[in-house]
Structure 1
Amino acid sequence: MAYQTLLPALFLAAAALFAQQPGPCSECFPFESLPPDVRAESESLLLQALDNEGLFTLAGGLKPMSSLPRIFQFSVETPDLAEIDRVRRALNAWRCHGEIRATVHHFHKIHEGKRAAGIVVFHLPRLGEVVSAKTAFFAPFGLSPHADPLEVLTTIEMEEQPIRLRGQGYLFGYPDYAVDWFVTADNHQRATGEFVKRKFISMPTHARDERGIVWAVPADHEEREEDRLFRARAAALLAEYRQRRDRYIGDGKPGVLALIRDWYDNGNGQCSPRHIQPAQ
């Protein structure tokens, strides 16, 4: 079996081990239960996620975790968390039968008296598959395949740099070779003060033609099969999303909630992100 065929097949088989049963689409992203202002915020954030790297988490789990391009900052001494709490309320409705979750998480380091926080979205079956595949890395922290995703992320965030970089690389779905190289390069720079030359693998999103998804590689890197396969799958998902976006987003059109539910629908009113198949 060719590598291009084998890897998506393994991806589906592994993710299925952690998948939940699909259920009614009305229970997927139940924005109708939100107050009008919170629903508007939730829909705006969902479109922002789909327009950026969150697409590749929400649409089939190519990336186990993605962040949204929205950062919050607050004073540690006099924290005002009203905006963060409002966004958390909006994100509470980002769920689909135990397979999707989103929230605000805080960063560990404090800079000039301020702490930052960001929005993350998880594809839970894919995250479980990664934690299972990387047991030697995650298990010493007590992290098992069905661990709460925020526990996984927070545990990694609180660790020292080499562990944090490796863990984040795995959670964001970067190829193993790229994670290994980046950690090695960072260790070298911290030990010697010498910056390790690099270049970047870059892929588009709807919102950005360049660096929508990006990871560092050696300066003399030649594209590998993992890069080509990731690029092909990402391109197929983006092309499909853009077609759907044209039909659903805009004045008089159904909107982002209908977009995601219809994409997750198996044709029988049963929704799951697994119904979006990875490109072969």
Structure 2
Amino acid sequence: MRKAFLLFICIGAIACNSSRKLAVNVLAKEDQPLADSMLAWALDHEAIYTLLDTIKPISSVKYFQYPVAKRPGVKDGDRVATHPDSLPATAAQYARICRQLSTGDHLFVMMPFKATSGQDRTMEVCVVRRSKFAAAIASHPEFFSQWGFTPATDPATILAVIEYETPHDRNRAYGYFFGYPDYAVDFFVDANRKVEADTSIRRVPRDFFAIPVFAAKTGYFTWAMPKGHQPSAADSAMYKAAMVTLDKYKQERAAYRGPQGMKATALWEKWKRK
């Protein structure tokens, strides 16, 4: 499955959403290069199926690290845990870009991971397709109602709560949000429970189903399934739909490449007008 789903757990949500309906072309001049770079990577990877399609309710857009984690010996609740200068100006710029890109059916959210490495904390920018996110909630009401979530609940609120939940609930929620089929989410959660209950089991045998992206054929929008499981008609339909979008993107991508990189925000803006 997706690296962030297997290896990283996002904790909290720095609200990058805005009630204003801002268009991509209102980006501040100083923010344009970073926004283009961020979206170019996203479109070349799994976020294509959230930005240009409705296959994935959520996709990763950007990872980065800042030395903002608590120093050794700092107690929970202390007035000052880190120096404010540890958070560089780019953090504010990413948050500003998220606000400007959040328009229509798309919401950009910047989230800090709970896990830290030394004094470094990993941050992630995700893009949410609001309508598909709401549909994921509506499709699993028994699961999400335990927190009082409804399809109308703000995605940033949901992400902030889910990130602090137990590993199995967190994995199930993110499995649904990142667009994996229900059977794959069930398998992933159950496999983790088996390993947790029996330390002699290092890993439950599995196969994988991968939907290609521009950057690679496997390793991004990929999910685990039981060993020997045959892909379903739903899996095949999702694959075929994704390939239509990927092929169209490949055809248009070259026209937006230039000496300074790809004008990804312009490509995305044009695509949304179709």
8 Å CA contact 2:69–2:118 kept in 1: the answer is no
Corresponding residue to 1:49 among 17, 31, 42: 42
State the Cα distance separating 1:113 from its structure 2 match: 4.4
1:92 is aligned to 99
1:28 is aligned to 23
- Structure 1 residues 55, 28: CA separation in 2 closer, same or farther (over 3 Å shift)? same
Rounded to whole Å, the distance in 2 between the matches of 1:203 and 1:212 is 8
Corresponding residue to 1:203 among 188, 193, 211: 211
Asked which structure has the greater RCO (Cα within 8 Å, sep 6+), the reply is: 2
State the Cα distance separating 1:124 from its structure 2 match: 0.4
* Aligned ranges 1:260-271 → 2 under 5 Å: 260-266=268-274
State the Cα distance separating 1:112 from its structure 2 match: 3.6
2:220 is aligned to 212
1:177 is aligned to 183
State the Cα distance separating 1:251 from its structure 2 match: 4.3
2:236 is aligned to 228
8 Å CA contact 1:65–1:122 kept in 2: the answer is yes
State the Cα distance separating 1:39 from its structure 2 match: 1.8
TM-score, scaled relative to structure 2 = 0.80
* Aligned ranges 1:266-277 → 2 under 5 Å: 266=274
- Secondary structure of 1:75's aligned partner: coil
- Structure 1 residues 231, 188: CA separation in 2 closer, same or farther (over 3 Å shift)? same
* % identical aligned pairs: 27
State the Cα distance separating 1:254 from its structure 2 match: 8.9
Rounded to whole Å, the distance in 1 between the matches of 2:219 and 2:166 is 26
State the Cα distance separating 1:73 from its structure 2 match: 4.0
8 Å CA contact 1:84–1:104 kept in 2: the answer is no
Corresponding residue to 2:63 among 44, 63, 70: 70
1:101 pairs with 2:107: yes
1:145 maps to amino acid = P
Number of positions where the alignment pairs a residue of Structure 1 with one of Structure 2:
238
Which runs of 5 or more structure 1 residues have no equivalent in the other structure?
1-22, 267-280
- Secondary structure of 2:258's aligned partner: coil
- Secondary structure of 1:180's aligned partner: helix
State the Cα distance separating 1:81 from its structure 2 match: 2.0
1:174 maps to amino acid = Y
8 Å CA contact 1:247–1:253 kept in 2: the answer is no
Corresponding residue to 2:127 among 121, 124, 128: 121
